[in-house]
Amino acid sequence: MTDPNDNVAYECKFCRKPGVITLEGEFSNRIKKLLSLACCNRCGDFFVAKRNMEDRIKEIALSLYTARLTKTAQLQDIVGLAREKLNKLTHAYAELVCRYWRITTVWEPDFIEQIFDHPRMSLQICGQYFKMAGQLVKQKQTS
């Protein structure tokens, strides 16, 4: 029988850094099976913040898409407000992602334009930005 307060080593699912989890209680054996899904606090906090920000970007993009479909009288106001909000959110998203990858923040106005051109693809556009930042890190490591 195992000690009810086991310290178990794991590897972060995202950054592959080693860590230790203290398992307590009668379900510790069952929890050990989930260790392959464990992540460090840094990665966990980042991915929660990233998902929340992507949800906010998606919400604005879909409201823009809906406004364009319904051709409301306030379309210009909605477009202006959406552009202003997306400007702030994409800057914050770029800062969050670049801080995670530990690189200088890279933001282009094209980020907003892509979302404006394809509002239903906002999550994919954010995902592409995340991958692009990761590729920059790999390029720096190899050069």
Instruction: Establish how many alpha carbons lie within 13 A of residue 17's alpha carbon, considering only the half-sphere containing its beta carbon.
Output: 8
Domain ranges of the chain: 5-37, 45-142
Cα(23)–Cα(43) distance, integer angstroms: 20
**Which pLDDT does position 4 carry in this prediction?**
54
Instruction: Write down the pLDDT at residue 2.
Output: 47
Largest CA distance in the chain: 70
Residues near 131 by Cβ (< 8 Å), separated by ≥ 6? none
In terms of pLDDT, which residue wins out, 23 or 77?
A: 77
Cα–Cα–Cα angle for 93, 96, 98, rounded to 5 degrees = 105
Measured at the CA of 39, the angle between CA 26 and CA 5, to 5 degrees, comes to 25
Residue 13: predicted pLDDT: 92
The answer to whether the CB of 2 falls within 8 A of the CB of 28 is yes
Work out the mean pLDDT of the chain and round it to a whole number: 90
The reported pLDDT for the residue numbered 48 is 97
Residues 127, 133: Cα–Cα separation, whole Å: 10
Residue ranges with strand state E in the chain: 5-11, 18-24
Give the mean model confidence (pLDDT) for residues 22-29: 75
pLDDT bin (cut points 50, 70, 90) of residue 62 is very high
- Residue 57: predicted pLDDT: 97
Q: Is 63 exposed, middle or buried (0-12, 13-18, 19+ CB in 10 A)?
A: middle
pTM for the predicted model, two decimal places = 0.85
